Amino acid sequence: MFHPVGELDFIAIYKHILTFWDEHKCFQTLVEKNGSGPRFSFLDGPITANNPMGVHHGWGRTLKDLYQRYYAMRGFHQRYQNGFDCQGLWVEVEVEKDLGLNSKREIENYGLEKFSRKCRERVNKFSQIQTQQSISLGQWMDWPNSYYTMSDTNIESIWYFLKVCHERGWLYLGHRAMPWCSRCETSLSQHEMLETYYEVTHKAVYVRFPIKERPGESLLVWTTTPWTLPANVAAAVHPELEYLRIQAGEHILIVGAETVHRVGTEGKDYRVLGKCFGKDLLGLHYDGPFDDLEAAKNIDHRVIAWDMVGSQEGTGIVHIAPGCGQEDFELSGVENLPIIQPVDETGTYLEGFGEFTGKRVQDLQQAIFADLKRKGVRFKTESYTHRYPSCWRCGEELIFRLVDEWFISSEEIRPQMREANSKVRWVPSHVQKRMDDWLVNMGDWCISRKRYWGLPLPFYPCKACGHLNVIGSLEELRERATEPFDLPELHRPWIDAVKIRCEKCGETVTRITDVGDCWLDAGIVPFSTMKYFEDREYWKDWFPADLVLEMRAQLRCWFYSLLFMSVALEKTAPYKCVMTHEKVLAEDGREMHKSWGNAIWFDEAVEKMGPDVVRWMYLGQATTEPLRFGYGPSREIKRKFLQFWNVYSFFVLYAQEDKPGLVYDRVPQENTRLLDRWLISRVNSADALIRASVENYEVRKAVIAIENLWEDLSNWYVRRNRRRFWKEETGPDKIAGYQTLYYTLTTVCRLMAPFVPFISEHIYQNLVRSLDPSAPESIHHTPYPVCDPGLVHTTLEEGVAMVQRVVSVGLAARNAAGQKVRQPLACAMLVVPEELRETIRQFEQDIVEELNVKETQFLDDPGPYIRRHVALDMKSLKSRLGKEAGAIRKAWEEVNQDDAYDALSMGNEFLLDLPSGLVAITPDDVRLAMEGTEGYSAASEKGVTVVLDLTLTPELIAEGRCRELVRKLQIMRKDAGLEVSDRIRLHLFRGEIMDDIVNRFKDFIAAETLAVELTREAPGQDCFVRDIEVGNDTGLVGLVKVA
RNA sequence: GGGCCUAUAGCUCAGUUUUGGUUAGAGCGCACGCCUGAUAAGCGUGAGGUCAGUGGUUCAAGUCCACUUAGGCCCA
């Protein structure tokens, strides 16, 4: 039979169950069991195997596991392939830190071969750690079969993709200004700019550009990046904006009309001389601030038109340096501007920049300012706070510089991607529009990185003939290589040694040294991991994925690269549905931050809360809102589980005694009570709701449905049925009760199983497997329960809900009258909806017991028993009617409250006759209250009114005192340290009340307190003794355990 | 400057679409109490809301529409 149930210990349970699954190979059994089932294709987004997992990873992983487990219980065959993202700057930067390296030069000195080995080691180490962490969260995956984006297969698949792009003419080497990290010495692509903008305060400078054609007059230009001034070639104005010619001190300046206030303090120290439009300034020439430098010597600085110039920004005149900004660079094409590239990869000034040469951008500010001052063109400086991008990896502020990078053109594919996106189901739906916005705005995809540990781009540009050779596979590389090779892996530096023959001219060609954007690595996985090249039939079975699920930030990373590559290769989206979730915050609503002390580590969360609690926290949260993760919420969750656990514990406690013949997976049919059928109905209607919610990606709804089921099970079914299980004999009624509870507990566990795999397995093992060894070995091998509509009784569920409300309202009426529940009352009169009377009548006994009344009656009209009272809401009246409110209050004292109540409670207005005329009082102006008339107490809520008859007969009073006495005896039993089943001898000594009560209720008292002997003699030395007070009487009581 | 999301009790959040409809709900916290055969558990009652604001549609708006404000996210 069952094992006794101890305390709820999530940690012990999960550890035990993990071992159990492992020893019994439960996951493998599941995969085999569903091997011939319909397919559910889930595609796992690769997690970067670079650090231990954080709690923010747990959300997605829990959702992923929920869906895989749910569809597994529904018999679906799945791949269960986990993925690791292995390449790119992420890994390099961490390895650099470990090795104490701090630049590309240091890496090269260290040796690329050793460096690549270290990167691989790191990935291997953390993929193992992350695997263990995921297992502890309960994730079931085919772990040994995880894919790694650094694998040769993955790399070759990307090569194929790149070759396809090349064949379509999409691939090109671009020369552009890119956001650049001078520490990592690489550019950042558009999607790497995500979450890289921070509030930064910079020193901004106003600089004069003296106009050649107008001696003594200058353009005033403002910039937050003074280091770019040596690269200035032009000044841009908006042709349609108004500009002012002003006298400021000794200078005459040209400034935008709307920004002129910046020139001085509140406009006091300048004088307007004239005005003009931007177009009037076009073509003017000016002296650049650094014309003395070799690199800027022959530049012809002029004023150009640009309609992106904002009227509020800076001075309305924009400094243009095409070598230092993307928009500036684009403008240089339109305006045919020269381009000055001031810095190298490390942000160091190149030759030709005088004293700046050899210095880094970050260290130059003072020198530039000093130089500008010396030349007399520095107008003023100011601190300026704005959002500025920094490197997402190392935190270094980014600069913009001109670089050669490889791009995939997005013009041709853009409409196809938008079309494909329109067929995808996004959860939540508005993300689809986000994706479309992103696609509309996406620039060409910059795929090259000037780094080491990454996908080697298979580009072999021929210096002799200019032809670009793109290799599409390892086999092709072998065929075209100048000599045979043996590579340990497709990575730098090994691959760099391979040279090929140009297919055009036959010249020997070397690979470019660039590696690829890591989103290429991740975007190819629907092909590389689904046997696109080896087994097309298999691929067709699994592509496109039914579900992809990641945090929303993946929109322009993984979701984007997946879509791009899949549309390029197959003209279709690789996913049918994409579910996204928001980010995880600390309990206080802020980001988790080590230094703020609000961070919780993943391992710590699992070890302290238990994985089931962690999962419940994730699954109970709307995926559209950030999750607040913390110990406070986890305690609340544990309490909810405890409610269910206690029912389980209660059931096992009694079932072990009585050993009723229980049958797994059978709905009790015979001898059931109405409340049994109600519970069975609740389970089945919840089942339907849970399934629908999960399948519609409304996981939270399912979680709430389960919690409500726990609540009804514990707080109504068990509460109302407890005495049924105390009975000595085990008759048909009791057996039906057991089977109902058994059916419910095991079914609810199976409903919960995909959500909380550990605790549900634990209970299943005890309730099902220990009883029926032929049942499936694991709860996760059982089919997900199917709602039987024939067992759902809507009227019954509504009726019980109404009974629950009657009880609640009745207790409120008791509370209002100050009558404790233990004092029996004669009658509760109920006003309830006509159509539910019949159902409610069947539960009269429940109402009678819960409210402790002798009987219930239905009432058509509570009128004679209640007094209505309408209180004015003076605030509302004052705001609506002003001064009249006082007069209304006076007049209100004369109003018949019943009439007013009736009118207002129906939502109508009530007309009040004032000397000044009729005033309409609306339901918003009042508060409706109800109280019992003399001798009655009443309360009302949502269509239910309960009137209690408060009249106490001597008989009722005596019974109340008896219950009081019994209660105090029970406390004594507990204080005496007795077990609940211990039998006692009871001494009721002294006190008149005893005589009366004992005479009337002797049997009742004996039964309730398990007294086998009840005596009026004085308690002896062996007794636990106490003076107690009942009503106005006191007495001496003793009790002692008897054998 | 453009787009998307959010705003409900002290706190954390349901409810809002499909389908506008009685007195807007829960948990936590707080106050008071009950129960004592689930017991280092369980339960009840209460206080606490101008449903961000304004306007509109409607017999009827927390719910639909428009605008405004505040916060968040994204783009530029």
DSSP SS3 for A862: coil
Question: Between the CA of A867 and the C1' of B50, what is the distance in angstroms?
Answer: 28
Would residue A811 count as lying in a domain? yes
How long is the CA A483 to C1' B8 vector, in angstroms?
73
> CA–C1' distance A861–B63 (Å)?
33
CA distances from A737 to A657, A680, A722 (A): 14, 11, 10
* Strand duo A271-277 + A318-320: pairing: unpaired
pLDDT score for A31: 97
Element of type H or E holding A803: helix A794-817
Minimum mean pLDDT among A310-314, A634-638, A691-695: which range? A310-314
Q: Which nucleotide is the nearest neighbour of A968, by CA and C1'?
A: B36
CB A266 within 8 A of CB A376: no
Here the tokens at position A329 are 């660079």
Q: Indicate which CATH number applies to the domain containing A74.
A: 3.40.50.620
Give the separation between CA A865 and CA A934, rounded to whole angstroms. 8
**Cβ atoms A451, A184 nearer than 8 A:** yes
Contacts of A631 (CB under 8 A, 6+ apart): A587, A600, A608, A609
Q: From the CA of A204, how many Å to the C1' of B47?
A: 56
Quick one: A942 and A961 in the same domain? no
- Measured from Cα to the C1' atom, the residue closest to B28 is A636
Same domain, A656 and A708: yes
Q: Which residue is nearest to nucleotide B37 (CA to C1')?
A: A980
Cα–Cα distance between A637 and A634 in angstroms, integer? 5
Which residue is closest to B24 in terms of CA–C1' distance? Answer: A942
Closest CA to A758 of A135, A143, A64: A135
Angle between helices A413-422 and A558-570 (to 10 degrees): 110
Nearest nucleotide by C1' position to the A970 CA atom: B36
What span, in angstroms and rounded, lies between the C-alpha atoms of A893 and A871? 10
Structure tokens at A504: 């055009």
Nearest nucleotide over every DNA/RNA strand to the A591 CA, judged by C1' = B72
Question: Shortest CA–C1' contact from A653: which nucleotide?
Answer: B38
Q: What is the DSSP letter of A492?
A: T
Query: For residue A580, what are the β-bridge partners?
Result: A550
| Mean of pLDDT values over A523-529 | 97
Beta bridge partners of A1006: none
The answer to whether residues A896 and A779 belong to one domain is no
Which nucleotide minimizes the distance between its C1' and the CA of A980? B37
Q: Which nucleotide is nearest to A822 (CA to C1')?
A: B34
**Packing angle of the helix pair A152-167, A558-570 (nearest 10 deg):** 60
How far, in whole angstroms, is CA A127 from its chain's centroid?
24
Domain end, chosen from A582, A600, A618, is at A600
- pLDDT tens-digit series, residues A930-987: 677 778 888 877 768 888 998 888 888 888 888 888 888 888 888 887 777 778 888 8
Kindly tell me if the per-residue pLDDT of A869 is higher than 70.
Answer: no
CA of A907 to C1' of B59 (A): 12
More confident residue, A263 or A652: A652
Q: Which residues, listed in sequence order, are joined to residue A516 by a DSSP beta bridge?
A: A448
CA gap A372, A366 in Å, rounded: 10
* A751 falls within a domain: yes
Instruction: Give, in Å, how far the C1' of B3 lies from the CA of A272.
Output: 40
Q: Of A952, A987, A1006, which residue constitutes the final position of a domain?
A: A952
Residue A11 covered by a domain: no
Q: Integer distance in angstroms from CA A678 to C1' B19?
A: 27
* Whether A825 and A777 share a structural domain: no
Domain boundary among A736, A760, A792: A792
- pLDDT tops 60 at residue A876: no
Strand order from edge to edge, sheet including A547-551: A42-43, A547-551, A577-581, A425-427
Q: Tell me, yes or no, whether A143 and A63 share the same domain.
A: yes
Residue A542 is predicted with a pLDDT of 97
Supply the pLDDT for residue A329. 84
- Comparing every residue's Cα with the C1' atom of nucleotide B29, the nearest one is A632
Q: What is the pLDDT of residue A885?
A: 63
The nucleotide closest to A387 (CA, C1' atoms): B76
* Domain-located, residue A179: no
Same domain, A503 and A566: no
Query: Which residue in this structure is represented by tokens 């991008």?
Result: A389
Q: Which residues of A956-975 are buried (b: 16+ CB within 10 A; e: fewer)?
A: bebbbbbbbbbebbeebbee
Q: Which residues contact A492 (CB under 8 A, 6 or more apart)?
A: A112, A116, A452, A453, A454, A456, A513, A515
- CA-to-C1' distance for A18 and B40, Å? 29
* Distance, Å, A1029 CA → B46 C1': 28
How many degrees, rounded to 5, is the angle at CA A261 between CA A256 and CA A264? 115
Distance A627 CA to B10 C1' (A): 21
Contact between A171 and A408 (Cβ < 8 Å): yes
Upstream peptide bond of A415 is cis (omega within 30 degrees of 0):
no
pLDDT at position A437 is: 87
Q: Which nucleotide is nearest to A190 (CA to C1')?
A: B75
pLDDT value for A267: 46
Rounded distance in angstroms from the CA atom of residue A642 to the C1' atom of nucleotide B39: 14
SS3 A6: coil
C1' of nucleotide B13: residue with nearest CA:
A621
Task: Judge if A875 and A995 occupy the same domain.
Answer: no
What is d(CA A366, CA A355) in angstroms, rounded to the nearest whole number? 12
Q: What is the CATH number of the domain that holds A236?
A: 3.90.740.10
Residue A618 lies in a domain: no
A214 with A142, same domain: the answer is no
Of all nucleotides, the one whose C1′ comes closest to residue A814's CA is B45
The amino acid sitting at A787 is C
Nucleotide nearest the Cα atom of A648 (by C1'): B38
Distance A576 CA to B18 C1' (A): 22
Instruction: For A51-64, give one letter per residue: b (16+ CB within 10 A) or e.
Output: eebbbbbbbbbbbb
Is A576 a member of any domain? Answer: yes
Give yes or no for a contact between A249 and A261, defined as CB atoms under 8 angstroms apart.
no
Q: What is the pLDDT of residue A560?
A: 94
Distance of C1' in B29 from CA in A809, Å: 24
Q: How far is the CA of A999 from the C1' of B36 (A)?
A: 24
Residue A167 inside a domain? The answer is: no
User: Residue A1004 pLDDT more than 90?
Assistant: no
Give pLDDT, residue A180. 86
What is the pLDDT at residue A903?
63
Question: What's the pLDDT tens digit per position in A343-368?
Answer: 998 889 999 898 899 999 888 888 89
Task: Report residue A445 as tokens.
Answer: 């995809």
Cα gap A659→A652, rounded to integer Å:
10
Q: Which of A815, A826, A811, A848 is nearest to A944 (CA)?
A: A811
Rg (CA), chain A: 40
Residue A209 pLDDT greater than 90, yes or no: yes
CA distances (Å), origin A354, targets A79, A294, A348, A378, A501: 63, 7, 13, 19, 44
Question: What is the arithmetic mean of pLDDT over A872-877?
Answer: 58
| Secondary element (H or E) of residue A638 | helix A631-658
Say which nucleotide is closest to residue A310, CA to C1' distance: B1
Query: Tokens representing A501?
Result: 């023959």
Nearest nt to the CA of A701 via C1' is B14
In this complex, the residue with its CA at the shortest distance from the C1' of nucleotide B41 is: A646
Specify the nucleotide whose C1' lies closest to residue A440 (CA). Answer: B75
C1' of nucleotide B40: residue with nearest CA: A7
Whether the CB-CB separation of A410 and A447 falls below 8 Å is answered with no
Question: Closest nucleotide to residue A813 (Cα to C1')?
Answer: B45
C1'-nearest nucleotide to the CA of A815: B45
CA of A642, C1' of B40: distance in angstroms: 13
Closest protein residue to B11 using CA and C1' atoms? A588
A979 CA – B37 C1', rounded, Å: 9
Give the pLDDT score at A195.
Answer: 54
- Mean of pLDDT values over A217-226: 90
Same domain, A647 and A733: yes
A996 lies in which domain range? 954-1041
Q: Are A524 and A553 in contact (CB under 8 A)?
A: no
Distance A202 CA to B3 C1' (A): 29
Compute CA distances A857 → A405, A835, A905, A1028, whole Å: 85, 15, 24, 37
Question: Following CA atoms A350, A353, A357, A361 in sequence, which dihedral angle do they give, to the nearest 10 degrees?
Answer: -80
**In the predicted model, is pLDDT for residue A392 greater than 80?**
no
Q: What is the pLDDT of residue A190?
A: 60
What nucleotide is nearest A805 when CA is compared to C1'?
Answer: B44
Rounded CA–C1' distance between A671 and B2, in angstroms: 68
Mean pLDDT of chain A: 87
Average pLDDT of the residues in A53-67:
93
Nucleotides of B under 7 A from a protein CB: 2-6, 12-15, 22-23, 25, 27-28, 33-39, 41-46, 73-76
Cβ contact A106:A730 at 8 Å? no
Interatomic CA–C1' length for residue A815 and nucleotide B9, angstroms = 22
Q: Which protein residue's Cα is closest to nucleotide B6 at C1'? A: A625
A616 lies in some domain? no
Structure tokens of A617? 């926290």
Q: How far apart are the first and last CA of chain A?
A: 28
| pLDDT tens by residue, A434-470 | 899 889 888 889 899 888 999 999 999 999 999 999 9
A699 and A567 in one domain?
A: no
With CA of A939 and C1' of each nucleotide, the nearest comes out as B45
pLDDT of A29 > 50? The answer is yes
**pLDDT-wise least confident of A202-216, A741-755, A808-822:** A808-822
Instruction: Name the residue closest to B27, CA to C1'.
Output: A636
- What share of chain A in percent tops pLDDT 90? 45
CA atoms within 13 A on the CB side of A542: 22
Q: What's the structural domain count of chain A?
A: 6
Q: Residue A441 CA to B75 C1' — how many Å?
A: 8
Residue with minimal CA–C1' distance to B35 is A967
**Residue A183 reports pLDDT greater than 90:** no
DSSP A293: S
Q: How would you class A71 by CB atoms within 10 Å of its CB: exposed for 0-12, middle for 13-18, buried for 19 or more?
A: buried
Burial class from Cβ neighbours inside 10 Å (0-12, 13-18, 19+) for residue A869 reads middle
The Cα–Cα gap between A559 and A154 comes to: 18
Spatial CA neighbour of A693 closest among A70, A56, A68: A70
A699-741 pLDDT, tens digit each: 988 998 899 899 999 989 998 988 888 877 888 999 999 999 9
Closest amino acid to nucleotide B60 (CA–C1'): A907
Among A242-256, A558-572, A617-631, A909-923, which stretch is predicted with the lowest mean pLDDT? A909-923
> A835 and A984 in one domain?
no
Give tens-digit pLDDT for A492-510: 999 999 999 999 999 999 9
Residue A124: pLDDT above 90?
yes
Give the pLDDT band (50/70/90) at residue A199.
low
Protein-to-nucleotide distance from the CA of A923 to the C1' of B20, whole angstroms = 19
**A1000 and A867, same structural domain?**
no
> CA A482, C1' B11: Å apart?
71
Give the span between the Cα atoms of A911 and A890, in whole angstroms.
15
